[in-house]
Amino acid sequence: MDVELNQAGPDPDGLSGSKEPVSLFQRMILVFSEPAAAFNGIAAHPRWIGAFLLVMVVGILSTQAIFPHIMEAQQNAMQQTAPDLPPERAEAMMERFSPEHEVSQRIWMVFTPFIVGMLELLILAGLFTFGCSFLLGGEASFKQVMAVVAHALLIRVPKALLVTPLILMKGSMSVSTSLAVLIPIDRWMTPLGVLLQQVDIFKLWGISLLITGLAVVYRFSKGKVAALVIGFFIFWVVVQVAVVMLFSNLFAGFTG
């Protein structure tokens, strides 16, 4: 029998009642410490813009801080493939790493995350609304689901605060909170590397937050929601691995 999490579970600040919504900072702390209580409040007052903007701003600041190391990693990857490319194509690809392109690259890394992040938020909210509302027969608004997804993505804030200093101290992008640390960084974009990157402590934590949040707003048991969320996640992993394999084979065909 389904457990109605928004009627059970801790609610120390009365977040599930009709009180005014708490601040973004309070919601973020509760999402990590008392997720059921946090999502009770989010279900009652579904706000997503603040959480989304916080994730975007922290991500952009992190990217700007480690920008030289990102460029170095991309340049090394290009240099490995350049010998297999026609000289003019290899030269054009390496040109983007010249100092005169740094400003444009930095600007690109400011605006692109907002577009990609907004698309990611809309797609995830749409998928989970479809899955929970139409496949599982639950009832919740798209805004509620969007708020759940936006707050689950807050897990990227502590990840950035952990990973960014480590990259700066190490002077390399070879820092990961996933099983990808078991293989060299030049294999991270292979099918095995992509697979290992999915086993990430923060990504798994984020999935657990999604499960809790969706269970609250839809009044489902966690087990019922977990089957859907984990199913979507496995499907996405398979797609990513398949795409990497496809492009690897295509590249080998063009250069072979």
Distance CA 203, CA 5 (A): 23
17-49 pLDDT per residue, tens: 446 778 899 999 999 999 999 999 999 999 999
Q: What is the pLDDT of residue 254?
A: 45
CA proximity to 36, closest of 237, 182, 212:
212
204-240 pLDDT per residue, tens: 999 999 999 999 999 999 999 999 999 999 999 999 9
Distance CA 254, CA 244 (A): 15
CA distances from 136 to 43, 103, 188 (A): 18, 48, 36
Q: What is the pLDDT of residue 28?
A: 92
- The pTM of the full predicted model, rounded to 2 decimals, is 0.83
E-strand stretches of the chain: none
